[in-house]
Amino acid sequence: MKKSLEYIKKAKSIDTKALGIELETLLLKGGAESKYYLLQGNYEMSLKIIDEIMDSIKDHPVDYYFAPVYVLKATALNNLGNCNEAYNIVKPIYDKEINEISSGNAGGIRLRVIIELARAKLGMDLKKEALRYAKQAIKIYTHDESRNNFNLDKSIDTDLADAFIIQADALHSLKETKKAIGSYATAEVIYYNKYKQNITNLDEVSFLYTKTTFAAHSIKDIYSFNKFKKKHIDKFGVNHFRSKEILKLPDL
pLDDT digits (tens, 9 = 90+) for 18-76: 333 455 555 666 667 778 888 788 899 988 988 888 777 777 666 666 788 888 899 99
26 part of a folded domain: yes
For 251, which DSSP code?
Answer: P
Of 124, 159, 144, 139, nearest to 35 by C-alpha is 159
24 part of a folded domain: yes
Q: How many C-beta neighbours within 10 Å does residue 251 have? A: 8
| Distance set, CA 243 to CA 206, 229, 240 (Å) | 9, 8, 5
226 part of a folded domain: no
46 part of a folded domain: yes
223 part of a folded domain: no
pLDDT of residue 96: 85
Q: How far apart are CA 24 and CA 242, in angstroms?
A: 38
pLDDT of residue 11: 38
Task: Determine the structural domain holding residue 25 and report its residue range.
Answer: 1-8+16-57
If one counts the domains in the chain, the total is 1
pTM above 0.85, yes or no: no
- Asked if residues 187 and 161 have their Cβ atoms less than 8 Å apart, the reply is yes
230 part of a folded domain: no
pLDDT tens digits, one per residue of 206-224: 999 999 999 999 999 999 9
